């Protein structure tokens, strides 16, 4: 790269449709660079969609998480049809009901499409009542059937709709990522900032604590802490407990980076100038120093979210994190952690697919953000 000099100005100017470079703020510059990162854009789109779904999962899901369909135990995903068996086209998509038979020899529940039972799919249709965000009761679902049932992702061993459960699980698992990272950020920036700004004995003390925390093996420690959560705690309290446990190991790394930045910035002229002008300590930190590395923090935070999601999933998978009736991806995968699922009901592993997609999306997004926020990035390849 050193022997190839690229002037980013014309390209950026072209993107903006203007030739006056002075109008571009650093933020706009970053946005332009980010837009070029196709994978990051796609990931961002996917994540926005997932968070919207997670936010409105009551509305998007056709059922409630614990609604059982006894006619469909371990039933495979349904396919959505536009053409019926005579080949007639229907504008309104429909599904066929299950025809279930327990084979007396194999004890297997054998499902096939029952073409006698056609269930058209209606959108914005009244279905099971639910409590939106635990605030108000509603009945409208994005899609459902008027009669019969629809299981786009199949059902689990109790006949519960997997589609519903995957997206309710998204709410818990994806929000635990964000809430956990918020906590991580708060502690990381606060403690790292104090250490970096104050230096001396405070810094040394914080450094030693961080070293101790970072030297602990994460998973066993998580396990010990979550096993210590009182049995009587409600699901909500366990949720916050797990979030705090997860962020407990997130902040030291971030605090170190923040401290490093602070140590470097502390000596900069603009900080000195602010101080000489009589700005208070907090004002110097938050007004003058923070903005110069927010991009860095955002990137770090984005890359930390998948760690949190995986942490929750791992704990719940091991049966020591969240527990039923709470539905999270980890809880769902715990139910799928048997040999029988792989052989006979692979659709119970769909939550795993969503974990993988989400984690990849976050990583790509973080990648894109880092490239975008890097002022030395010229828009070309980084190598």
Partner 1 sequence: MFTDRKHRRGLTAWLVPMLLGVSAVSVAADDAVSSMPDSWFEIPKTASEVGITSFSQSPMLDDAGLPPVNERLPDDPPVIEPLNNIGVFGGRAQITLGDSWQFFNWESALTISADLRNFLPNLAESWEVSPDGRITTIKLRSGLKWSDGHPLTSDDFIFTFNHIWLDTDINPVTSMLVIGGRIEKVDNLTFRYVFENPNPMFENLIAQYGSFMVDPKHFFVKYHPSFADREFVDAKVDEIGVPTWMALLDALRSAIIDEGLDMPTLRSYKIVQRTPTMVRFDRNPYYHKVDPQGQQLPYIDGIDAEDILDNAEVVTAKASTGQLDFAAFTLRTQDIPLLKLGERNGEIKVHIWRRLHSSDVAIQPNYNYADAKYRALLWDVRFRKALSLAINRPEMNEIIYFSRGVPRQVTVHPTSSYFEPHYATAHTEFDPDQARALFAEIGLKDIDGDGLVEYPDGSPLTITLEFLDFETPKGITMELVASYWREVGLDLRLKLVDRALQSARAQAGEMQMTLWHADRVTDILFPLVPDWWAPRSTGWDRGMWNDWARYYQTDGELGENPPEIIRQMQQWTDDMRYETDINKRIAIGKKLLQANADNLWTIGTIGLAPHPVVVSKRLRNVLPKGIWGWDNRWTLAYHPSTWYFDED
**DSSP 8-state code for residue 104:** T
Question: What's the count of helices (H) and strands (E) in the chain, helices before strands?
Answer: 15, 4
Please identify which residue in the block is written with the tokens 């998580």.
Answer: 222
Q: Count CB neighbours of 360 within 10 A.
A: 14
153 by DSSP, 3-state: which?
coil
Smallest distance from partner 1 to CB 141, Å: 20
User: Does residue 376 bind partner 1 (CB under 8 A)?
Assistant: no
The nearer residue to partner 1, 232 or 383, going by C-beta atoms, is: 232
Q: How many other CB atoms are found less than 10 A from the CB of residue 280?
A: 11
Q: Is 224 in the site for partner 1 (CB under 8 A)?
A: no
Site stretch for partner 1 (CB under 8 A), options 63-71, 80-88, 183-191, 214-222: 63-71
Contacts of partner 1 in 139-168 (CB under 8 A): 157-159
Least separation in angstroms between residue 204's CB and partner 1 is: 41
Nearest distance from C-beta of residue 104 to partner 1, angstroms: 5
Among 4, 135, 231, 276, binds partner 1 (CB under 8 A): 231
Residue 68 bridge partners (DSSP): 160
Binding of residue 108 to partner 1 (CB under 8 A): yes
Q: According to the binding rule CB under 8 A, does residue 106 interact with partner 1? A: yes
- Provide the angle, in degrees to the nearest 10, between the axes of the packed helices 162-198 and 200-215: 150
260 counts as binding partner 1 under rule CB under 8 A:
no
Residue closer to partner 1 by CB (options 258, 331) is 331
Neighbours of 108 (CB within 10 A): 12
For residue 339, the minimal CB distance to partner 1 (Å) is 5
Distances (CA, A) of 66 to 194, 240, 349, 359: 47, 22, 18, 27
- Is residue 236 at the binding interface for partner 1, with CB under 8 A as the rule? no
Alpha-carbon distance of 329 to 161, in angstroms, equals 14
**Maximum distance among all alpha carbons in the chain?**
87
Q: Does 14 bind partner 1 (CB under 8 A)?
A: no
Does 104 interact with partner 1 (rule: CB under 8 A)?
yes
Which residue lies nearer to partner 1 by CB, 107 or 133? 107
Q: Among 3, 86, 105, 383, which residue sits at the site for partner 1 (rule: CB under 8 A)?
A: 105
Number of residues that bind partner 1 (CB under 8 A): 28
Pairing of strands 89-102, 109-132: antiparallel
What is d(CA 328, CA 350) in angstroms, rounded to the nearest whole number?
Answer: 12
* Footprint of partner 1 on 323-352 (CB under 8 A): 323-325, 337-340, 343-344
Q: Any contact of residue 234 with partner 1 (CB under 8 A)?
A: yes
Among 70, 135, 201, 276, indicate the residue that binds partner 1 (CB under 8 A): 70
Q: Which stretch binds partner 1 (CB under 8 A): 49-57, 105-113, 169-177, 263-271?
A: 105-113
List phi, psi (to 5°) of 156. Answer: -95, -170
Look at residue 236 and give its three-state secondary structure: helix
Site for partner 1 in 72-91 (CB under 8 A): 73
Beta strands in the chain (DSSP E): 81-83, 89-102, 109-132, 136-145
Residue 68 in the binding site for partner 1 (CB under 8 A): yes
DSSP 289-334: IGGGGHHHHHHHHHHHHHHHHHHHHHHHHTTSSS-TTS--HHHHHH
Least distance in angstroms from the C-beta of 335 to partner 1: 9
Residues that bind partner 1 (CB under 8 A): 66, 68, 70, 73, 102, 104-109, 157-159, 231-232, 234-235, 319, 323-325, 337-340, 343-344
């Amino acid at each position: 790269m050193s022997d190839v000099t690229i002037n980013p100005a014309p390209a950026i100017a072209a993107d903006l449709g203007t030739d006056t470079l002075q109008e571009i703020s650093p933020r706009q510059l970053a946005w332009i660079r980010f837009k070029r990162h196709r994978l990051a854009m796609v990931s961002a789109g996917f994540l926005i969609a997932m968070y919207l779904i997670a936010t409105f999962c009551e509305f998007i899901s056709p059922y409630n998480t614990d609604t059982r369909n006894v006619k469909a135990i371990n039933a495979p995903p349904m396919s959505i049809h536009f053409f019926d068996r005579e080949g007639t086209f229907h504008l309104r998509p429909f599904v066929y009901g299950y025809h279930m038979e327990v084979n007396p020899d194999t004890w297997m529940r054998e499902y096939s499409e029952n073409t006698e039972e056609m269930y058209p799919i209606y959108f914005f249709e009244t279905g099971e009542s639910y409590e939106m965000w635990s605030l108000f009761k509603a009945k409208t679902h994005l899609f459902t059937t008027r009669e019969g049932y629809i299981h786009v992702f199949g059902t689990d061993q109790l006949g519960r709709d997997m589609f519903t459960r995957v997206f309710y699980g998204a709410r818990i698992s994806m929000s635990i990522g964000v809430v956990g990272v918020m906590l991580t950020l708060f502690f990381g920036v606060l403690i790292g900032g104090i250490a970096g700004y104050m230096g001396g004995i405070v810094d040394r003390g914080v450094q030693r604590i961080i070293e101790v925390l970072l030297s602990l093996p994460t998973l066993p420690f998580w396990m010990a802490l979550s096993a210590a959560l009182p049995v009587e705690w409600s699901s909500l309290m366990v949720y916050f407990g797990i979030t705090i446990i997860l962020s407990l190991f997130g902040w030291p790394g971030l605090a170190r980076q923040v401290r490093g930045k602070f140590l470097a910035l502390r000596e900069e002229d603009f900080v000195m100038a602010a101080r000489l002008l009589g700005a208070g300590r907090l004002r110097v930190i938050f007004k003058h120093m923070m903005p110069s590395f927010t991009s860095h923090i955002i990137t770090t935070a984005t890359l930390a979210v998948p760690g949190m999601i995986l942490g929750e999933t791992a704990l719940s998978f091991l049966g020591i994190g969240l527990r039923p009736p709470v539905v999270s991806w980890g809880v769902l995968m715990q139910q799928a952690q048997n040999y029988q699922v792989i052989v006979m009901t692979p659709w119970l592993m769909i939550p795993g697919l969503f974990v993988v997609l989400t984690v990849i999306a976050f990583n790509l997004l973080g990648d894109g953000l880092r490239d975008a926020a890097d002022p030395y990035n010229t828009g070309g390849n980084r190598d």
